[in-house]
Chains A and B, each alone.
Chain A
Amino acid sequence: MTLIEITIGFAILTAISAFFLSFLTSSSKEISFSADHFNAVILSQKVCEDLLEEIAVNPYGLETLGIDESINSKHDVVDGSSVFFSFIEDRTEPWGLIEPAKDGMINSSMQPLYSSVKKFKFGVSGRRLAKTGDHEDRNLVSCNVDFSWSAQTGKGAYNNSFELFSPVSVKKVSLGVSLNEAAIDARIPPEVFYQPSQTIGELATRIGENVDAVLSVGRISLVSRDFINSQFYRDSKDAIRILLRKLSTLSADDSEEIFETRLQLAKTWYEQAKVCFQIISYLEPHFTTLQQQGKFDGTSGSGFNPISFQQDLMSFRIIYEFFAGAIVQARFHYYQLLQPAMVALKGNKAQLQVIQKLIDIYRITSILPTRPEGMAEYRSFLNRIKGLSENRNPFVNRMIGHELKMLDNRNDWLQHYPNLGRIDDMLTGKMPGILAFIKTKTIGALTN
């Protein structure tokens, strides 16, 4: 064997070694990258799940979290740099509370997670598909989660895009109850004006009034009378009487029955309030017609029967009062479902659903013109829930903080909730005028 042969052999061995070394280094980098990628996928899913929870309790979750259409800055996953990784777990006293600045973050004591995710930076962007209007796209938000990290193979990146349902547009339904107007109108001449043989047009001509005014008086009268005499109204009142009686006989330790009875009471009151509001919404334009035409001002109008109309106005007033009372009663019974025994029985999911229902109801009672203390009651309720959710449920806690902030500007608050805005238009915008109208026109009935 010559020296040349040995040199050639040595060179071949070196080449093979270099190849293996390169293969090993590359494998090592790939394995490491694969682990990082897996981590990025899991952490990105966590951010998605957090956003889903946020939006589920708060349609303005992105706004609350300060998420914009583009990613302006990226945050670390560790050391509590981001709200998404600040409520990880409860590791220190007081037990049962996750404190973001204390034990909620991923810090160096959480190994090996801390070391493996320390390198990650991430950003979140989001936008509502339609910024204005009532197109379905307005109820969808598009989110984007970007993770990046420095890897031995270069720069690691993982992106996750998804859409979430977040309803904020006006519901495409009439607030007024759906009635058979043709059938009601046919009853106006015989039942309101005692002229069974005349049409509305003939009747209007005979008494010297216009058709719109006759229709308005007729519909207000008949719909109000019908509701007060309806089977629904009687059945609802009976159902409430029976449920209250049952509730009074239940033993305090019969939590299941108490819960179900209370829930039925709350639902029955709420359903009554809903139907009453639909009637108010349906009849409101007719009051506006009469007010705009100056009917019943000074004289009672040339052809109307002021006595029967006064009675019908009183019926309408009862419907409004019934609505206002029923919504407060529904609120009371839903509130009772938050008692510790009830929560222990039905769990936190039912508790959260009751809180969400109560927030909807409190919003309505806070704008009732006949309940001036409504807003203070709502704020007080929100503050109680804020205290309860502090360091427990960050999604609810943030939603309430955002709601309290919005309440400082009533118009801004109502613009954020267009369905509530419509109810407010009715209750605050129209009802005081209607109630004043009824009061002046029924003063005789009240005082005589």
Chain B
Amino acid sequence: MKMQHKSGTTLVELLVVIGLVGLIGAAGMHFFTSVNTSQKAFSQQAILQMESRKAFDQIIDQIREGTDVIRPVTGETMHYMVFRDLLNQVNMLYLEPNNDESVRLKQRVYRLVSYCNDFSGAYNKANEKILHNSIKQLRFSSLSPSSVQVNATVVSDKGEYQFLAHVGLLNVGGIE
């Protein structure tokens, strides 16, 4: 008896292949989606770090121009800092609410403002600088009249970063 030769694929084989391709495809899609999400998270963490470093450098650069800490006095902790610079101008570092960022980040955040009071005594917009846009908290503590400790928390979309620094002022000033 001559056997009948069958060519092509059966319906079952086709269904198995389609099922496997579908399964692998779904797993692959899920995997690549999660890869994409993780990559975004890492990028945002890297951006947060970069932002924090920027904020840190800007605060430090500003304070290092000072000669005398006026507030906080030694032993005191405050949410703002007042200091005198080489030109005997009074400078301030303080926070003001940033409503737009607060809405976007769904938490209360502040702008870090640096203001240099010129000799006129009147407010001058040109003397104001925004050092950072999303600071959650900022505290200045003084242990000596020549330096200040800064404790700040920077916020971004994907978390917050807190740093603690001790910054020395210019070694001039006081009694001559």
Contacts and interface: CB of A to CB of B under 8 A. Distances in A.
Interface in A278-337: 337
A348 B175 contact: no
Majority secondary structure of chain A interface residues (helix, strand, loop or mixed): helix
A38 B49 contact: yes
B170 to A, nearest CB: 11
Contacts of B31: 17, 20
B155 to A, nearest CB: 11
A13 B168 CA distance: 56
B165 A45 contact: yes
Contact of A53 (B24, B75, B144): B144
Contacts of A31: 42, 45-46, 49
A42 B56 contact: yes
A43 interface: yes
B45 A394 contact: no
B139 to A, nearest CB: 6
A116 B84 CA distance: 34
B146 A349 contact: yes
A1 interface: yes
A49 B167 contact: yes
Interface string B135-170: 000010111111101010100000011111111100
A263 B161 contact: no
Interface string A22-60: 001001100100110011001101100110110011000
B39 interface: yes
Interface residues of A, number: 59
Nearest to B139: A89
B145 A53 contact: no
Interface residues of B, number: 49
A87 interface: yes
Interface in A79-101: 87-91, 95-98
A351 interface: yes
Contact of B175 (A111, A350, A394): A350
Interface string B30-47: 010001001100100110
Contacts of B168: 49, 52-53
B175 A42 contact: no
A163 B76 CA distance: 30
Contact of B143 (A35, A91, A337, A394): A394
Given A24-B35, A39-B163, A354 B20 contact: no
A387 interface: no
A147 interface: no
B75 A96 contact: yes
A13 B175 contact: no
Given A43-B164, A90-B77, A113 B151 contact: yes
A39 B142 CA distance: 21
A38 B56 CA distance: 11
B69 interface: yes
A395 B144 contact: yes
27 contacts: A24-B38, A31-B49, A34-B46, A35-B49, A35-B161, A38-B52, A38-B53, A42-B163, A46-B149, A52-B168, A53-B147, A56-B146, A90-B75, A95-B76, A110-B162, A347-B174, A348-B69, A348-B142, A348-B144, A348-B145, A349-B145, A350-B174, A352-B146, A354-B175, A392-B75, A393-B75, A394-B143
Across the A-B interface, the 7 shortest Cβ-Cβ residue pairs: A392-B75, A348-B145, A349-B145, A49-B166, A46-B166, A113-B162, A90-B77
Given A347-B69, A392-B74, A395-B144, 16 more contacts: A6-B21, A28-B38, A43-B164, A46-B149, A53-B168, A87-B143, A89-B77, A89-B149, A90-B141, A96-B76, A113-B153, A347-B68, A347-B84, A350-B174, A350-B175, A392-B75
